[in-house]
Amino acid sequence: MPTTHSNTIPTIPEASSGSHDFFVQALGRSGLFANTQPSTFNRFAEQCQQRRYAKGTVLFLQEDEADWCYLIINGWVKLYRETLDGDEAVVDALTSGLMFGETAIFENGKYPYAAEVVEDATLLLLPIRLLAEQVKQDNQLAFNMLKIMSRFQRQQDKEIEHRTLQNAPQRIGCFLLRLCRAGAEGEIRLHLPYDKTLIASRLGMQPETFSRALGRLKNETGIKVQGSTVIVPSIESLSGYSCSACTSSYPCQDLY
């Protein structure tokens, strides 16, 4: 079920090979081309590339020269920053409809973080030079980008808040809640989108802590876990437990 947008999204000529629906949907969800001139969109359509990447592919490293900005059609990508001694901090993990690498425009043309595919992904590559040009010329495009960045920024605010105010089991509960579709009711069956180890570092904790905290969460809220499948019997008990420490109540996610 595609997100309904008031604007029309032109379809891409022949660039896309396979899953055209996903493609258009992802572009729509990204909101980047909402209400822009078809000509703007077409310029991108001509110069973009769609590619598949296997889990484990490193797309670029921090400080790499930025040639492309990426739009996720499907799959998952993690953004992270790495210390000299191999420690890493996961900035975020993104999925379909989301864009990354675009802020290199405003830096010195370098990526401010590294990116790695963590679940097989189809990505759309937009030339960053083109994006930089068009943003300067097309007002609507700049406005859309502001909107996108502002949403991302608020998410980061919440991230800091979560890590400050919530303990490990609560952060996991909050993460699970964000996987639930808005408006879902009754018993919900979830699939963890990527490795538990990665979820752990996405949430700022160690894998061992994640494992134990998930156990505690089971006891406290009655969720059931089998491998990477999680069954949430009731949103209420989960959100009651997780969101109590937080400034915003469920759902704290951004709907897009």
Q: Sheet of 188-191: strands edge to edge?
A: 188-191, 229-232, 224-226
HSE (side-chain half, CA atoms, 13 Å) at 176: 36
- Eight-class DSSP state of 209: H
Stretch that binds a copy of itself, among 118-126, 221-229, 233-241, 243-251 (CB under 8 A): 243-251
> CA neighbours within 13 Å on the CB side: how many for 145?
19
Burial of residue 66, with CB atoms counted within 10 A of its CB: 0-12 exposed, 13-18 middle, 19 or more buried: buried
Verify binding: residue 236, a copy of itself, rule CB under 8 A: no
Using CB under 8 A, which of the segments 11-19, 68-76, 121-129, 143-151 binds a copy of itself? 143-151
Could you give the string, one character per residue 186-205, with x where binding to a copy of itself holds by CB under 8 A and - elsewhere? ------------------x-
Can you tell me which of 43, 52, 147, 216 binds a copy of itself, judged by CB under 8 A? 147
Residue 84 CA from chain centroid, whole number: 26
**Pairwise CA distance, residues 209 & 206, whole Å:** 5
Report DSSP state, residue 205. S
Figure out which of the listed residues 3, 8, 156, 197 binds DNA, where binding follows CB under 7 A.
197
**Residue 112 touching a copy of itself (CB under 8 A):** yes
Q: At what angle do helices 207-221 and 235-242 cross, to 10 degrees?
A: 120
Does residue 214 interact with DNA by CB under 7 A? yes
Q: 80, exposed or middle or buried, with CB in 10 Å at 0-12, 13-18, 19+?
A: buried
State yes or no: residue 213 binds DNA (CB under 7 A).
yes
Under DSSP, the state recorded for 142 is H
245 binds DNA (CB under 7 A): no
Q: How many residues bind a copy of itself (CB under 8 A)?
A: 41
Nearer to a copy of itself, 86 or 186 (CB): 86
Q: Buried b vs exposed e over 101-137: b needs ≥16 C-beta within 10 Å?
A: bbbbbeeeeebbbbbbbbbebbbbbbbbeebbebbee
**Among 195, 240, 251, 253, which residue sits at the site for DNA (rule: CB under 7 A)?**
195
Residue 206 CB, nearest approach to DNA (Å):
4
Minimum CB separation from a copy of itself for residue 52, in Å?
A: 28
178 makes contact with a copy of itself (CB under 8 A): no
Q: Does 58 bind a copy of itself (CB under 8 A)?
A: no
Given the rule CB under 8 A, which residues bind a copy of itself?
62, 81-83, 87, 89, 91, 103, 105-107, 112-113, 135-137, 139, 142-143, 145-147, 149-154, 156-157, 159-161, 163-165, 204, 245-248
Q: Which residue ranges make up the site for DNA (CB under 7 A)? A: 167-169, 195-198, 204-215, 225, 227-228
